[in-house]
């Protein structure tokens, strides 16, 4: 009922009387008043005047279900299941729980704040309240587990497209999962999988996008390597709109991947890479490899040629790009 009341007061620039709402939905004036107060607590600015009714003045830039789903142009993503959380330890952890319960592909989890956001290699991801987009998706691709690494690259291409479409931002991809603007990290992608020997049960894709942080919002140790859309563009960004475009563009790229395979996505990844053609240092648990990043193979692995012209296939590792 709360969302129905929101929809009716959103549909008019004039005041909507309590009597009109009561007649339309068959609820009491007291119930309407309670729902209006609940909307105000969520951040909606609503004017109330005796004998005139209610008027919506401003919507909040909070990633609420009703806000995100309004005018969302996806076929499935977000519309299957959408979970908004004020705070959670990690949206990926929450998504894994839902996936194990059988929630469908296209389920979206979004939080205003993460207390234990995760990056690759169990690193902590700084997830300040109301400053970014902290979201996870449940996927159930019909691919073999040894191709699951492709999903991270597919998501990265979707993020590049979303930033370009919504903001006109030209971002680059650093293998395997970082989105950079002006050589600074603005977004990270973390994929986690549950699989059997020959099939995938589910893949969880977590995306952390720095949206409206200022430099002071980042810890000292990452201020030289991290950025936000606000810092890059010099203005506040509407998070609801940004999330809508992310869902739309990533769904398109993911569906293209399922329909036509990885090769077309891989070409786009390469065209937007800041890793290929660069001297790199790859740090792995038992060795460090230095050389030229020359390619990405069909499995999503980084191919590096060292100074002895030995070819290395990198499945996982930290990559430092040495700019020419």
pLDDT for 285 equals: 83
Q: How confident is the model at residue 121 (pLDDT cuts 50, 70, 90)?
A: very low
Q: How many C-beta atoms lie closer than 10 Å to residue 214's C-beta?
A: 10
pLDDT for 51 equals: 81
pLDDT in tens, 145-200: 989 989 999 999 999 999 999 999 999 999 988 999 999 999 999 999 999 989 99
Q: Is 100 annotated as a binding residue?
A: no
Q: How many C-beta atoms lie closer than 10 Å to residue 278's C-beta?
A: 17
Domains of the chain, earliest start first: 2-58 (1.10.10.10), 65-271 (3.30.930.10), 279-322 (2.30.30.100)
**Predicted confidence (pLDDT) at residue 303 exceeds the cutoff of 90:** yes
Strands 178-181 and 172-174: antiparallel
Nearest-angstrom CA–CA distance, 150 and 145:
10
**Predicted confidence (pLDDT) at residue 225 exceeds the cutoff of 80:** yes
> Is residue 9 within 8 Å of 33, Cβ to Cβ?
no
* 3-class SS of residue 126: coil
pLDDT for 315 equals: 87
Q: How confident is the model at residue 235 (pLDDT cuts 50, 70, 90)?
A: very high
**Predicted confidence (pLDDT) at residue 58 exceeds the cutoff of 90:** no
Q: How confident is the model at residue 313 (pLDDT cuts 50, 70, 90)?
A: very high
Nearest-angstrom CA–CA distance, 158 and 164:
10
Q: Is 185 annotated as a binding residue?
A: yes
**Predicted confidence (pLDDT) at residue 119 exceeds the cutoff of 80:** no
The sheet carrying 200-210 orders its strands as: 82-85, 108-111, 132-139, 200-210, 184-195, 178-181, 172-174
Report H helices in 59-187.
65-69, 91-100, 149-167
pLDDT in tens, 196-218: 989 999 999 999 999 999 988 88
Tell me the average pLDDT across 241-258.
97
Q: Is 92 annotated as a binding residue?
A: yes
- Report the percent of the chain where pLDDT is more than 90: 60
Which pTM value belongs to this model? Answer: 0.85
Q: Is 305 annotated as a binding residue?
A: no
> Is residue 246 within 8 Å of 252, Cβ to Cβ?
no
Average pLDDT, the chain: 90
Q: How confident is the model at residue 117 (pLDDT cuts 50, 70, 90)?
A: low
């Amino acid at each position: 009922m709360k969302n129905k009341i929101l929809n009716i007061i959103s549909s008019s620039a004039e005041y909507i009387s309590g009597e009109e709402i009561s007649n339309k939905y068959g609820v009491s004036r007291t119930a309407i008043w309670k729902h209006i107060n609940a909307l105000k607590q969520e951040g909606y600015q609503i004017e109330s005047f005796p004998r005139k009714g209610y008027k919506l003045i401003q919507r909040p830039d909070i990633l609420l279900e009703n806000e995100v789903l309004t005018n969302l142009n996806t076929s499935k993503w977000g519309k299957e299941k959408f979970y908004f959380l004020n705070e959670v330890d990690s949206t990926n952890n929450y998504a894994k729980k839902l996936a194990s319960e059988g929630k469908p592909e296209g389920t979206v989890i979004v939080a205003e704040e993460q207390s234990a956001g995760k990056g690759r290699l169990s690193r902590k991801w700084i997830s300040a309240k109301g400053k970014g987009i902290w979201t996870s998706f449940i996927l159930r691709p019909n691919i073999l587990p040894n191709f699951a690494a492709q999903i991270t690259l597919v998501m990265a291409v979707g993020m590049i497209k979303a930033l370009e479409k919504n903001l006109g931002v030209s971002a680059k991809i650093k293998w395997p999962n970082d989105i950079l603007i002006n050589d600074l990290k603005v977004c990270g992608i973390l994929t986690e999988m549950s699989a059997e020997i020959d099939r995938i049960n589910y893949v969880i894709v977590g995306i952390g996008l720095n949206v409206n942080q200022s430099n002071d919002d980042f810890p000292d140790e990452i201020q030289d390597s991290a950025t936000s859309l606000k810092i890059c563009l010099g203005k506040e960004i509407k998070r609801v709109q940004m999330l809508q475009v992310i869902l739309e563009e990533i769904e398109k790229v993911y569906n293209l991947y399922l329909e036509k395979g990885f090769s077309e996505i891989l070409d786009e990844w390469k065209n937007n890479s800041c890793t290929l053609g660069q001297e790199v240092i790859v740090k792995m648990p038992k060795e460090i490899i230095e050389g030229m990043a020359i390619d990405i193979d069909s499995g999503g692995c980084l191919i590096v040629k060292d100074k002895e012209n030995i070819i290395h296939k990198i499945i996982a590792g930290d990559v430092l790009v040495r700019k020419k």
